[in-house]
Amino acid sequence: MARLRSSYVCQNCGAVTQRWQGKCESCGEWNTIIEEAAALGVGGASARRGAAGRPFPLEDLAGASRPEPRVATGIGELDRVAGGGFVPGSATLIGGEPGIGKSTLLIQACAAVARSGARVVYVSGEESTAQVRLRAARLGLASAPVQLAAQTLVEDIVATLASGDATKFVVIDSIQTMWSDAIESAPGTVSQVRGSAQALIRFAKASGAALLIVGHVTKDGQIAGPRVVEHMVDAVFSFEGDGAHAFRLLRAAKNRFGATDEVGVFEMTGSGLAEVPNPSALFLSGRDVGAAPGASVFAGVEGARPLLVEIQALVAPTSLGTPRRAVVGWEPNRLAMVLAVLESHGGLKLGPFDIYLNVAGGLRVAEPAADLAAAAALVSSVTGATLPHDAVYFGEIALSGSVRPVAHTTLRLKEAAKLGFARAFAPPAPRAEGDAPGAGVTTIGSVASLVALIAASAVEARSGGDGSGKGAPGGSKSGGGGAGEGAPAAAAYGTKPTARARTPASAG
């Protein structure tokens, strides 16, 4: 048997180098490389010793395989992300920041499966059984027949799971606390995380138990991230949320047994995680209808799920040398891009203004389709024109100033209609989804037509009486505006009318 050599392993990404380095060349993190005894893996040395391979029968692709029934937890949002329940013999990694609610979700899932009569084991390496019991009691699950253990040695855990009745559902909370006898490094190191996961996954495949592994994600990367495990498991879910808000999103980053675009939405309540079957209603619940300018509703899609959310913008004269641009819940780079397009193609002068953009409810929007909604909120704040309270916006803005079609147009419109939004401002639907826009859809082909449309409504509102609208950028209210239509209005608001800005909003 080869002498054990040590190698240097990055604790962030698992890359192995032959000598110590301050910076990992693979992932770029600093001070993450530590010395570990070369990992042989569980059973790696003994199984291979002097072995001549044994041939095994190969099978046809067309061979019969009967699909085993999935283990459904009865928690709809969780089962949906899993692809309709957990496949027997599969391993699922659930990652998320500490305190986000992983243990809470999984003890709820355990209780639900256990109540259906299956053997369910919850192994905690972080909390004592008393702590787990206490939590279960708070959640009103104390009577569920879940078998508990506070153990960290994988060999013992596997032996326990393998004895007695067949285990249907196992939770390991968390993989960072597990360690294996066969590996000579400290718990939490990449070798231990990888080795322990290997042993547990092998047990799951052999026994047909559905295995759920909790993995912590740390920001500084000092503790072995679950990254190395991601390749070994069948599915990777991430549990996300914002500490200041109660909602949580469960996403599938990888799923061998289902779609990865499913999203589960939960709300953290005093009695555990509650399912949110209608997330749009949750995100719009705090919205004051028709109040101030600077708010638009974005018809978004998270995964395959429509999600309506309010986007708020504030454009205010700056008192600083360098105007501030602050954005919460959206990409700062996308804001910069939308602002640049509004300046060069929409004719707005935004230079001397502080600009703030916020996605209400603590959601992080990543879709380019939010461009048009953000632009509408910004233009609304600039012009002082309140946007119609029953309208949604979506569309991707190109650098040329045109508004490009986005996927799932029909889905977005349906969700908007369901929540009582009668109007939508959107680019033409992509050809695949059919050409005819539905009722109430105003086709917006360019940023210029969006600006013209909103500025026109500002003029209408102003000529309608109050006259106390706030100053518009550029300051000049010269001319008082035309008849409230298109480009003249934009000109009235100190915007420099470009050739594009003269094109009236295309009708829908």
Given ligand TYD, Mg ion, none, residue 270, with its beta carbon under 5 to 8 Å by kind, binds ligand TYD
Q: Are 288 and 127 in contact (CB under 8 A)?
A: no
Q: Are 390 and 440 in contact (CB under 8 A)?
A: no
Q: How far is the CB of 126 from Mg ion (least distance, A)?
A: 6
Q: Are 196 and 186 in contact (CB under 8 A)?
A: no
Torsion on CA atoms 76, 81, 87, 93, rounded to nearest 10: -120
Given ligand TYD, Mg ion, none, residue 104, with its beta carbon under 5 to 8 Å by kind, binds ligand TYD
* Residues 130, 116: Cα–Cα separation, whole Å: 24
Q: Are 298 and 280 in contact (CB under 8 A)?
A: no
Residue corresponding to tokens 């992983």:
102
Q: Is the CB of 24 or the CB of 276 nearer to ligand TYD?
A: 276
Part of the chain binding ligand TYD (CB under 6 A), chosen from 83-91, 101-109, 434-442, 497-505? 101-109
State the number of binding residues for ligand TYD (CB under 6 A): 15
Of the chain, the end-to-end C-alpha distance in Å amounts to: 76
Does position 135 interact with ligand TYD (CB under 6 A)? The reply is: yes
State the number of binding residues for Mg ion (CB under 5 A): 1
Element (H, E) at 255: strand 247-255
Q: Is the CB of 113 or the CB of 141 nearer to ligand TYD?
A: 141
Structure tokens at 229: 């495990």
Q: Is the CB of 171 or the CB of 314 nearer to Mg ion?
A: 171
Q: Which position among 33, 100, 342, 385 is part of the footprint of ligand TYD (CB under 6 A)?
A: 100
The CB density around residue 236, as the number of other CB atoms within 10 Å, is: 23
Q: How far is the CB of 402 from ligand TYD (least distance, A)?
A: 44
Q: How far is the CB of 451 from Mg ion (least distance, A)?
A: 49
Residues within window 308-327 making contact with ligand TYD, judged by CB under 6 A: none
Closest by CA to 382, choosing from 478, 469, 301, is 469
Q: Is the CB of 233 or the CB of 369 nearer to ligand TYD?
A: 233
Does position 95 interact with ligand TYD (CB under 6 A)? The reply is: no
Part of the chain binding ligand TYD (CB under 6 A), chosen from 11-19, 53-61, 99-107, 251-259? 99-107
Part of the chain binding ligand TYD (CB under 6 A), chosen from 34-42, 95-103, 140-148, 433-441? 95-103
Residue corresponding to tokens 């239509």:
485
C-alpha dihedral sign at 431, 436, 438, 443: positive
Structure tokens at 209: 């138990």
Q: Is the CB of 45 or the CB of 134 nearer to ligand TYD?
A: 134
Q: How far is the CB of 485 from ligand TYD (least distance, A)?
A: 53
* Residues 192, 175: Cα–Cα separation, whole Å: 9
Q: Which position among 11, 83, 87, 102 is part of the footprint of ligand TYD (CB under 6 A)?
A: 102
Q: Is the CB of 127 or the CB of 390 nearer to ligand TYD?
A: 127
Residues within window 77-106 making contact with Mg ion, judged by CB under 5 A: 103
Binding track, positions 229-268, relative to ligand TYD; x by CB under 6 A? ---------------------------------------x
Does position 140 interact with ligand TYD (CB under 6 A)? The reply is: no
Q: How far is the CB of 132 from ligand TYD (least distance, A)?
A: 10
Residues within window 266-295 making contact with ligand TYD, judged by CB under 6 A: 268, 270-272
Element (H, E) at 103: helix 102-115
Q: Dihedrals φ, ψ of 292, to 5°?
A: -110, 160
Given ligand TYD, Mg ion, none, residue 187, with its beta carbon under 5 to 8 Å by kind, binds none
Residue by residue, DSSP assigns 331-354 as: -HHHHHHHHHHHHHHH----TTEE
Q: How far is the CB of 490 from ligand TYD (least distance, A)?
A: 49
Buried (b) or exposed (e) across 112-132, using 16+ Cβ within 10 A? Answer: bbbeeebbbbbbbbbbeeeeb
Q: Is the CB of 266 or the CB of 298 nearer to ligand TYD?
A: 266
Sequence-distant (6+) residues with CB within 8 A of 124 are: 103, 131, 132, 148, 149, 150, 173
Q: How far is the CB of 102 from Mg ion (least distance, A)?
A: 5
* 3-state class (DSSP) for residue 292: coil
* Cα distances (angstroms) measured from residue 251 to each of 4, 237, 370: 40, 5, 20
Q: Which position among 12, 90, 92, 103 is part of the footprint of ligand TYD (CB under 6 A)?
A: 103
Does position 138 interact with ligand TYD (CB under 6 A)? The reply is: yes
Residues within window 168-187 making contact with Mg ion, judged by CB under 5 A: none
Does position 226 interact with ligand TYD (CB under 6 A)? The reply is: no
Q: How far is the CB of 216 from Mg ion (least distance, A)?
A: 8
Q: Is the CB of 131 or the CB of 400 nearer to ligand TYD?
A: 131
Q: Are 103 and 272 in contact (CB under 8 A)?
A: no
* Residues 441, 439: Cα–Cα separation, whole Å: 6
The amino acid at 37: A
Closest by CA to 98, choosing from 260, 210, 220, is 220
Given ligand TYD, Mg ion, none, residue 135, with its beta carbon under 5 to 8 Å by kind, binds ligand TYD
Binding site for Mg ion (CB under 5 A): 103
Binding site for ligand TYD (CB under 6 A): 96, 98-104, 135, 138-139, 268, 270-272
